[in-house]
Amino acid sequence: EVQLQASGGGLVQAGGSLRLSCAVSGFTFDDYAIAWFRQAPGKEREGVSCISNSDGVTYYVDSVKGRFTISKDNDKNTVYLQMNSLKPEDTAVYYCAVDTAYLAGRPYPFPDVDMSYWGKGTLVTVSS
């Protein structure tokens, strides 16, 4: 059974930092991508960042470029999202998800992709 467990959310002041973790288990795929999405109150869910397992290619949406960094620790089967210079508009529930249809070397239209599995979210609140 594929499981994704997100953690690390909390309350932080604007300009502060948080690091989210996504622990992944139950995988048998060689090539896949792990992504972070978020959903703010009253808004649609949006993609934030993504990293491929095989070649480490990363993707970011414009609103977080230069502030967020995605990384992975294969030994721990964990993907991280380091979030710096947080803004009130980053307030949302953050979800990690996996796309098992990802193919290294092919164009990947993140965030306009369908994810295969989703984990439960972790709440990030940024106060002004």
In sequence order, the 6+-apart residues with CB closer than 8 A to the CB of 27 are: 2, 77, 98
* Locus of tokens 């414009």: 62
Nearest CA to 83 out of 1, 14, 4 is that of 14
Per-residue pLDDT of the chain (128 residues; tens, 9 = 90+): 899 999 999 999 999 999 999 999 987 777 899 999 999 999 999 999 999 988 899 999 999 999 999 999 988 999 999 999 999 999 999 999 999 999 888 889 999 999 999 999 999 999 99
Reduced to 3 states, what is the DSSP secondary structure of residue 64? Answer: helix
- First vs last C-alpha separation in the chain: 40
